Amino acid sequence: MASIFTRILAGEIPGTFVFQGERWVALLDIRPAHPGHVLLIPREERQYLADLSGSTQAELGLHLARMTLAVKRATGCPAVNVVLNDGPEAGQEVPHAHLHVVPRWPGDHKGFRFAGAPYGNGQLATMAERLRAAWAAD
């Protein structure tokens, strides 16, 4: 079944488009954290960012950088959060890869803070090596 984003792209469901390109679109989020909260969505329907085609991935950085500037200029916010929920365990509600560009202001109480814990003895180096091996596997 097509995701809600695919249905919006097909014109079956209304959406407020900010930008439309060959491989990516930007829509206003209908439940924004703040006005100006934009979703950057690939036309290609894949749940995970890594499953998108190389050409779609290649365009992402250009559109993302430009959209962060547009959100700052349009809203007057001094900062943005760029959020990717890559899978349901990470909070992904729509199984279609997409990025949130959320305008932020001092004291807005919309934080994205993780309760972290330091690595134990030797765990930092071990994790770094595991990540290097995973990176080299592709």
**Residues acting as catalytic residues:** 98
Rounded Cα distance, 26 and 20, in Å: 7
Strands, E, within 17-121: which ranges?
17-20, 24-28, 38-42, 79-84, 99-104
Q: How far apart are CA 11 and CA 34, in angstroms?
A: 25
Q: Tokens representing 120?
A: 């134990």
